[in-house]
Amino acid sequence: MQKLHIAPTRLTPEILFSPEENVFLIRGVSSPEDVRALYYPVVEWFRTFINETLQKEGSIYTPENPLKFQTDLTYFNSSSAKFIYDIFSELKRLPPLGIPIVIEWFHDEEDIDMKEAGIDIASLAEMEFIYIQKKKLMPDERTKGTL
């Protein structure tokens, strides 16, 4: 299946789904003016990917190489949350058929609200997430290696 890549903007996240590379990533800010225009094609791509994966005889995803889905959002609005949930609802179809998945939910160490949003979505989707805390860079760490 062709990979899906949507470049980020000030109000929309980077979305990269590349099955051959086992990269499934949503990263950035998700507050689009037209949430449907952004996410309908994304959810449809994911639904097609799941259907194709379920129809294949063998899977490239194994316990040693599970499908890895990463969510690294600094902000998302409530309209985006519904579509993010829809993606996880599709993803949820895989484990009962023996296709292992790992969902990593990144959040800044000081952003408890983002972690709690992940906990809420995981609970609603009835899935297990791994919560990964990102360290806050100190001002001198951000400039290391730059001129």
For 54-98, the pLDDT digits (tens) are: 888 777 899 999 999 999 999 999 999 999 999 999 999 999 988
Give residue 60's pLDDT: 87
Q: Is 70 helix (H, G, I), strand (E, B) or coil?
A: strand
Q: Is 132 helix (H, G, I), strand (E, B) or coil?
A: strand
- CB 102, CB 69: distance < 8 Å: yes
Question: Could you tell me the pLDDT band of residue 141, with boundaries at 50, 70 and 90?
Answer: low
pLDDT at 137 over 70: no
Q: How high is the mean pLDDT of the chain?
A: 91
With CA atoms as reference, report the closest residue to 17 among 43, 40, 36: 43
Structure tokens at 35: 């949430």
- Report pTM: 0.88
Find the mean pLDDT for residues 141-147. 50
